[in-house]
Amino acid sequence: MLSGNGKTFHRVDALVSCYPGTFEIGPLEQQMELTLNNLRQSLERAGGSLAHVIQVVVYFVDPIGRALLNEVWARYFPPPTPNRAIVGVRELAIPGVGFHLAATAWLEG
C-alpha cells in the first residue's frame, strides 16, 4: 500500500477463483465471475469499489479465453475501464485454475 495526497494505492493480488476455503476449477467463465466478485468484495472491505481499479494484470493458461474475458469484463467494468494487460502462462499454482488476476486500486484515505 502506498499513500499520497489523501489517496492510497491498494494492490489486490492472488485472487484466484474461490469460495471461502475452496478453489473453483469449473468452466472458465465461472472462474472469471467468481474471481471478479472476489475482487469487488475485497475492494468493498477496503472502502472502495471496482470503479477505483486503475490497472489489472490477467494471467491465462489458455489465452483463447480473451474473447470470453471481454464479455465478462463488460459486466464488471463499465467505461472508462481500467488499464488491462493479459499474460499467457504455461500453468498457474493451483492445478485446474485457468485464470488469475492482480489489480491495483486508487482509494481515498
Model confidence at 4: pLDDT above 60: no
CB atoms within 10 A of CB 97: 20
What would the pLDDT profile of 22-69 be if each residue is shown by its tens digit?
Answer: 776 788 898 899 889 889 988 898 888 999 999 999 999 987 888 999
- Classified by CATH at the fold level, domain 2-108 comes out as 60s Ribosomal Protein L30; Chain: A; (3.30.1330)
Model confidence at 1: pLDDT above 50: no
> Which one is predicted more confidently, 6 or 54?
54
> Which one is predicted more confidently, 71 or 99?
71
CB atoms within 10 A of CB 67: 8
What would the pLDDT profile of 82-104 be if each residue is shown by its tens digit?
Answer: 999 999 999 988 888 888 888 98
CA angle 45, 108, 104 (to 5 degrees): 65
